Amino acid sequence: MAKKQQPEKESKQLIESFAEFAKIKNIESSLMIKLLEDVFRAMIRKKYDDDDSNFDVIINTDGGELEMRQNLIVVADDVNVKAYDPHKQIKLADAKKIDKDCEIGEEVALDLHLEDFGRRAILMARQTLIQRAKDVEKLSIYQKYKDREGELITVLIDQVVGKDAKEVYCKDEDSHDLVLPRLHQIPRDRFKKGDNIRAVIEKVDFINGTPKIILSRTSPVFLRRLFETEIPEVIDGIIVIKNVVREPGERAKISVETYDDRIDPVGACVGTKGSRIHSIVKELNNENIDVINYTENLELYISRALSPAKITSIIIEDKSRVSVYMKPDQVSWAIGRSGYNIRLAGKLVGMEIDVFRDDQELDEEEEDVELTEFSDEIEEWVIEELRKVGLDTAKRVIEFGKDLLLKRTELEEEQIDDILELLKKEFE
């Protein structure tokens, strides 16, 4: 019953320009049509008292065609003025101009033209469409990346902010923005614009209508994904990663197991002379990685986790705590530089680990002297530095020796010489 409407230049340009914009933003055709319809219906509601229930909006994005129709019920020409609603009804004489065969009670469709809404409304519609498209794009990016949290990704560095790289802004293959904060950078990471880097998608938030995609290179998940990418047996599922713990840039422990008795899981991950794990270590800026053979035997698992220290005995206090005894010369190995080894071992097995010197050694150490007895000659921070590597008595420091002290503490060579000379005098 409606007249055939020819494509109007104004509507054609509007629809075609938006269709091109939506295509660039990868907005699906069905969603694009829905956005267009919503905007045109908003124009209708604004003009017709917030009611668009008797309007049809038909859009053909391929041809840039727009049809808007107002469906009106035909009423008598002498209808009561108070009962007449011009937004939903039309008098018979006017209806005959649209359809000469129409009768009272029937419905006729009045064609609307975009220019009927005015230049200002058209400009507003154009701006609204662009904003809605941007909002849809942002939501699409959020949903895309929210489902990929924990995934390994390669990105291009676009901008490094701040002298210490407080934040590194990156682009993915679709030029979406991602950020690598300083907190999630390995301490020795150094970046410049144009570099390709690997990281995991740590967290995806939607803040004030904008997606924020946080990357991480310090997460244990990052190390796990590198193993799943670089080690063939892990890729194939022959070797299973049980747990990963890290002190980013310093040390990491990863436990692995296999159900194929013919395969040594540790050897397969490390490779001959470290050939297989080398690329992962390089990616982590020479972070030390201990690969440990997982076992259900908790005592054996703890012993392996504390490697390279050799354990004399283990007492499991409860589900969350264990006491480990070892010879005095093994304590520092168990604790590790700055306590990294014992902390990571505890995280790996999920227990607090307390290290004690074996009671059998106590008789030999009865004449030893606690380092605190030298607090007048040795500064407190120096004593604390020695404690970090498991050295709490004079003989222990002397036995540890200059070379290891240089390697495993932050002390200067001259300081170490003075300390050793002071402690040796105690036993002369």
Digitized pLDDT (tens) for each residue of the chain, 428 residues in all: 444 444 456 677 777 777 777 776 667 777 778 888 888 888 888 888 888 889 998 887 776 778 889 999 999 988 888 888 888 999 999 999 989 999 999 999 998 888 778 888 878 888 888 788 788 888 888 888 999 999 999 999 999 987 776 889 999 988 889 999 999 999 989 998 999 999 999 999 988 888 999 999 999 999 999 999 999 999 999 999 999 999 999 999 999 999 888 999 999 999 888 888 999 999 999 999 999 999 999 999 999 999 888 898 898 888 888 989 988 888 888 888 888 899 999 999 999 988 888 755 545 545 678 888 888 788 888 888 888 777 888 888 888 888 888 877 888 888 899 889 888 887 76
CATH topology of domain 154-216: OB fold (Dihydrolipoamide Acetyltransferase, E2P) (2.40.50)
For the entire predicted model, the pTM comes to: 0.65
Do 154-216 and 219-294 agree at the fold level? no
3-class state of residue 187 by DSSP: coil
Query: Which residues, in sequence order, are CB contacts of 97 under 8 Å at separation 6+?
Result: none
C-alpha 106/C-alpha 13 separation (Å) is: 35
Question: What integer pLDDT is reported at residue 8 of this predicted model?
Answer: 59
What one-character DSSP code corresponds to residue 82? G
C-alpha 116/C-alpha 229 separation (Å) is: 61
- Stretch (H or E) spanning 145: helix 119-146
Please work out, in degrees rounded to the nearest 5, the angle formed at the alpha carbon of residue 87 by the alpha carbons of 84 and 90: 60
Q: Where are the domains of the chain?
A: 9-143, 154-216, 219-294, 367-426
CATH topology of domain 9-143: N Utilization Substance Protein A; Chain:P; domain 4 (3.30.1480)
C-alpha 392/C-alpha 375 separation (Å) is: 12
Three-state SS annotation for 342-384: HHHHHHHHCCEEEEEECHHHCHHHCCCCEHHHHCCCCCHHHHH
Question: What pLDDT digit, counting tens, does each position of 333-370 carry?
Answer: 888 888 889 999 999 999 998 888 875 554 554 567 88
Short-list 238, 220, 346, CA closest to 287: 220
Number of Cα atoms under 13 Å in the Cβ half of residue 252: 29
Class of domain 367-426: mainly alpha
Class of domain 219-294: alpha beta
Short-list 164, 180, 341, CA closest to 250: 341
